[in-house]
Chain A
Protein backbone atom coordinates (compact mmCIF):
# COMPACT_ATOMS: atom_id res chain seq x y z
CA UNK A 1 0.00 0.00 0.00
CA UNK A 2 1.44 3.36 -1.03
CA UNK A 3 1.83 5.85 1.79
CA UNK A 4 1.02 9.55 2.00
CA UNK A 5 3.05 11.44 -0.59
CA UNK A 6 4.26 14.99 0.01
CA UNK A 7 6.34 17.40 -2.01
CA UNK A 8 8.64 19.19 -1.97
CA UNK A 9 10.77 17.63 0.73
CA UNK A 10 12.59 20.86 1.52
CA UNK A 11 11.92 24.49 0.71
CA UNK A 12 13.89 27.63 1.50
CA UNK A 13 12.30 31.01 0.86
CA UNK A 14 12.69 34.59 1.99
CA UNK A 15 10.12 36.27 4.19
CA UNK A 16 7.18 37.77 2.33
CA UNK A 17 7.51 35.22 -0.48
CA UNK A 18 4.83 32.63 -1.15
CA UNK A 19 5.13 28.84 -1.02
CA UNK A 20 2.90 25.87 -1.74
CA UNK A 21 2.98 22.30 -0.51
CA UNK A 22 1.30 19.31 -2.10
CA UNK A 23 -0.10 16.15 -0.55
CA UNK A 24 -1.57 12.96 -1.99
CA UNK A 25 -3.22 10.83 0.72
CA UNK A 26 -3.57 7.07 0.82
CA UNK A 27 -6.13 5.93 -1.72
CA UNK A 28 -9.60 5.67 -0.22
CA UNK A 29 -8.83 7.77 2.86
CA UNK A 30 -11.65 10.24 3.29
CA UNK A 31 -9.98 12.47 5.87
CA UNK A 32 -6.92 14.61 5.20
CA UNK A 33 -5.04 16.74 7.72
CA UNK A 34 -2.34 19.38 7.52
CA UNK A 35 -0.17 19.76 10.61
CA UNK A 36 2.59 22.23 11.45
CA UNK A 37 5.45 20.91 13.58
CA UNK A 38 7.90 23.44 14.98
CA UNK A 39 11.22 22.03 16.17
CA UNK A 40 10.89 20.48 19.62
CA UNK A 41 7.09 20.59 19.60
CA UNK A 42 4.33 18.18 18.74
CA UNK A 43 2.34 18.51 15.52
CA UNK A 44 -0.32 21.21 15.59
CA UNK A 45 -3.42 20.80 13.42
CA UNK A 46 -3.87 23.53 10.83
CA UNK A 47 -6.79 22.18 8.84
CA UNK A 48 -8.79 18.98 8.47
CA UNK A 49 -10.82 17.93 5.43
CA UNK A 50 -13.50 15.25 5.23
CA UNK A 51 -13.62 14.42 1.52
CA UNK A 52 -13.46 17.94 0.03
CA UNK A 53 -15.20 19.76 2.87
CA UNK A 54 -13.43 21.55 5.74
CA UNK A 55 -14.10 19.99 9.15
CA UNK A 56 -11.80 22.15 11.28
CA UNK A 57 -9.64 25.13 10.34
CA UNK A 58 -9.79 26.93 13.68
CA UNK A 59 -5.99 27.10 14.00
CA UNK A 60 -5.23 28.07 10.42
CA UNK A 61 -3.90 31.67 10.18
CA UNK A 62 -6.33 32.55 7.44
CA UNK A 63 -4.76 35.92 6.67
CA UNK A 64 -1.76 34.11 5.17
CA UNK A 65 -2.52 30.38 4.96
CA UNK A 66 -4.96 28.71 2.60
CA UNK A 67 -5.65 25.10 1.72
CA UNK A 68 -7.83 23.24 -0.70
CA UNK A 69 -8.68 19.65 -1.45
CA UNK A 70 -9.99 19.39 -4.95
CA UNK A 71 -12.20 16.42 -5.79
CA UNK A 72 -11.66 15.01 -2.31
CA UNK A 73 -8.26 13.53 -3.15
CA UNK A 74 -5.00 15.48 -3.14
CA UNK A 75 -4.51 18.77 -1.38
CA UNK A 76 -2.37 21.90 -1.45
CA UNK A 77 -1.42 24.19 1.41
CA UNK A 78 -0.24 27.69 0.59
CA UNK A 79 1.44 30.40 2.62
CA UNK A 80 1.38 33.95 1.29
CA UNK A 81 3.24 35.95 2.48
CA UNK A 82 5.55 33.86 4.62
CA UNK A 83 6.91 35.04 7.96
CA UNK A 84 10.02 33.93 9.82
CA UNK A 85 7.88 32.11 12.38
CA UNK A 86 6.43 29.88 9.65
CA UNK A 87 9.70 27.93 9.60
CA UNK A 88 8.60 24.42 10.50
CA UNK A 89 7.86 20.99 9.08
CA UNK A 90 4.47 20.77 7.39
CA UNK A 91 3.02 17.31 7.71
CA UNK A 92 0.14 15.89 5.77
CA UNK A 93 -1.79 12.93 7.16
CA UNK A 94 -4.80 10.89 6.15
CA UNK A 95 -7.14 8.48 7.84
CA UNK A 96 -9.82 6.08 6.72
CA UNK A 97 -12.58 7.48 8.86
CA UNK A 98 -13.32 10.93 10.16
CA UNK A 99 -12.64 10.31 13.81
CA UNK A 100 -8.93 11.08 14.07
CA UNK A 101 -7.97 7.49 14.69
CA UNK A 102 -4.81 5.93 13.31
CA UNK A 103 -3.42 8.75 11.23
CA UNK A 104 -0.98 7.95 8.44
CA UNK A 105 1.59 10.71 7.99
CA UNK A 106 3.78 11.71 5.07
CA UNK A 107 7.44 12.58 5.59
CA UNK A 108 6.67 16.27 5.59
CA UNK A 109 8.02 19.40 3.93
CA UNK A 110 10.71 21.23 5.87
CA UNK A 111 10.26 24.96 5.33
CA UNK A 112 12.92 27.50 6.18
CA UNK A 113 11.96 31.18 5.95
CA UNK A 114 14.98 33.49 5.89
Chain B
Protein backbone atom coordinates (compact mmCIF):
# COMPACT_ATOMS: atom_id res chain seq x y z
CA UNK B 1 0.00 0.00 0.00
CA UNK B 2 0.92 3.66 -0.14
CA UNK B 3 1.20 4.29 3.59
CA UNK B 4 2.82 2.80 6.67
CA UNK B 5 0.97 -0.35 7.66
CA UNK B 6 0.90 -1.76 11.19
CA UNK B 7 -0.49 -5.03 12.45
CA UNK B 8 -2.34 -6.07 14.42
CA UNK B 9 -4.43 -2.93 14.89
CA UNK B 10 -5.47 -4.16 18.34
CA UNK B 11 -3.93 -6.71 20.67
CA UNK B 12 -5.20 -7.89 24.03
CA UNK B 13 -3.02 -10.26 25.98
CA UNK B 14 -2.43 -11.51 29.48
CA UNK B 15 0.30 -10.18 31.71
CA UNK B 16 3.49 -12.20 31.30
CA UNK B 17 2.93 -13.15 27.68
CA UNK B 18 5.20 -12.06 24.84
CA UNK B 19 3.83 -9.91 22.00
CA UNK B 20 5.13 -9.11 18.56
CA UNK B 21 4.07 -5.99 16.66
CA UNK B 22 4.71 -5.51 12.97
CA UNK B 23 5.40 -2.47 10.82
CA UNK B 24 5.54 -2.27 7.02
CA UNK B 25 7.11 1.08 6.09
CA UNK B 26 6.52 3.02 2.91
CA UNK B 27 8.52 1.45 0.09
CA UNK B 28 11.89 3.15 -0.34
CA UNK B 29 11.95 4.70 3.11
CA UNK B 30 15.32 4.00 4.67
CA UNK B 31 14.49 5.23 8.16
CA UNK B 32 12.00 3.53 10.50
CA UNK B 33 10.97 4.61 13.98
CA UNK B 34 8.96 3.09 16.81
CA UNK B 35 7.15 5.22 19.40
CA UNK B 36 4.94 4.49 22.38
CA UNK B 37 1.94 6.66 23.18
CA UNK B 38 0.19 6.20 26.49
CA UNK B 39 -3.43 7.31 26.83
CA UNK B 40 -3.65 11.09 26.56
CA UNK B 41 0.10 11.48 26.32
CA UNK B 42 2.66 12.49 23.70
CA UNK B 43 4.95 10.26 21.68
CA UNK B 44 7.77 8.49 23.47
CA UNK B 45 10.69 7.52 21.21
CA UNK B 46 11.68 3.84 21.42
CA UNK B 47 14.05 2.89 18.60
CA UNK B 48 15.29 4.17 15.22
CA UNK B 49 16.62 2.20 12.23
CA UNK B 50 18.54 3.94 9.43
CA UNK B 51 19.55 1.77 6.47
CA UNK B 52 22.19 -0.76 7.46
CA UNK B 53 23.53 1.29 10.37
CA UNK B 54 23.31 0.03 13.92
CA UNK B 55 19.90 1.02 15.33
CA UNK B 56 19.53 3.75 17.94
CA UNK B 57 18.00 1.84 20.84
CA UNK B 58 18.33 4.63 23.35
CA UNK B 59 14.58 4.90 23.95
CA UNK B 60 13.84 1.28 24.79
CA UNK B 61 12.50 1.33 28.39
CA UNK B 62 13.82 -2.07 29.48
CA UNK B 63 15.50 -5.22 28.20
CA UNK B 64 12.05 -6.74 27.73
CA UNK B 65 11.76 -4.57 24.62
CA UNK B 66 13.58 -5.38 21.38
CA UNK B 67 13.14 -4.64 17.70
CA UNK B 68 14.44 -6.01 14.45
CA UNK B 69 14.36 -4.77 10.91
CA UNK B 70 15.08 -6.78 7.78
CA UNK B 71 17.04 -4.58 5.39
CA UNK B 72 14.91 -1.57 4.54
CA UNK B 73 11.59 -3.33 4.89
CA UNK B 74 9.50 -4.84 7.66
CA UNK B 75 10.23 -4.25 11.32
CA UNK B 76 8.97 -6.13 14.38
CA UNK B 77 8.84 -4.79 17.91
CA UNK B 78 8.83 -7.53 20.55
CA UNK B 79 7.82 -7.09 24.16
CA UNK B 80 8.63 -10.03 26.41
CA UNK B 81 6.90 -10.87 29.68
CA UNK B 82 4.41 -8.04 29.23
CA UNK B 83 3.40 -5.89 32.20
CA UNK B 84 0.29 -3.78 32.64
CA UNK B 85 2.31 -0.58 32.23
CA UNK B 86 3.12 -1.71 28.68
CA UNK B 87 -0.49 -0.97 27.70
CA UNK B 88 -0.32 1.82 25.11
CA UNK B 89 -0.54 2.55 21.40
CA UNK B 90 2.66 1.60 19.59
CA UNK B 91 3.23 3.78 16.54
CA UNK B 92 5.60 3.16 13.67
CA UNK B 93 6.83 5.84 11.26
CA UNK B 94 9.12 5.87 8.24
CA UNK B 95 10.97 8.51 6.25
CA UNK B 96 13.77 9.01 3.75
CA UNK B 97 16.45 11.63 3.43
CA UNK B 98 15.53 14.80 5.29
CA UNK B 99 11.83 14.32 4.62
CA UNK B 100 9.22 14.21 7.40
CA UNK B 101 8.07 11.00 9.02
CA UNK B 102 4.84 9.35 7.99
CA UNK B 103 2.98 7.36 10.59
CA UNK B 104 0.91 4.22 10.63
CA UNK B 105 -2.31 4.06 12.66
CA UNK B 106 -0.65 2.14 15.46
CA UNK B 107 -1.23 -1.05 17.41
CA UNK B 108 -3.38 -0.65 20.52
CA UNK B 109 -1.92 -3.00 23.10
CA UNK B 110 -3.89 -3.89 26.21
CA UNK B 111 -2.36 -6.03 28.94
CA UNK B 112 -4.88 -7.69 31.26
Partners in one complex: no
Chain B residues in contact with chain A, CB under 8 A? Answer: none
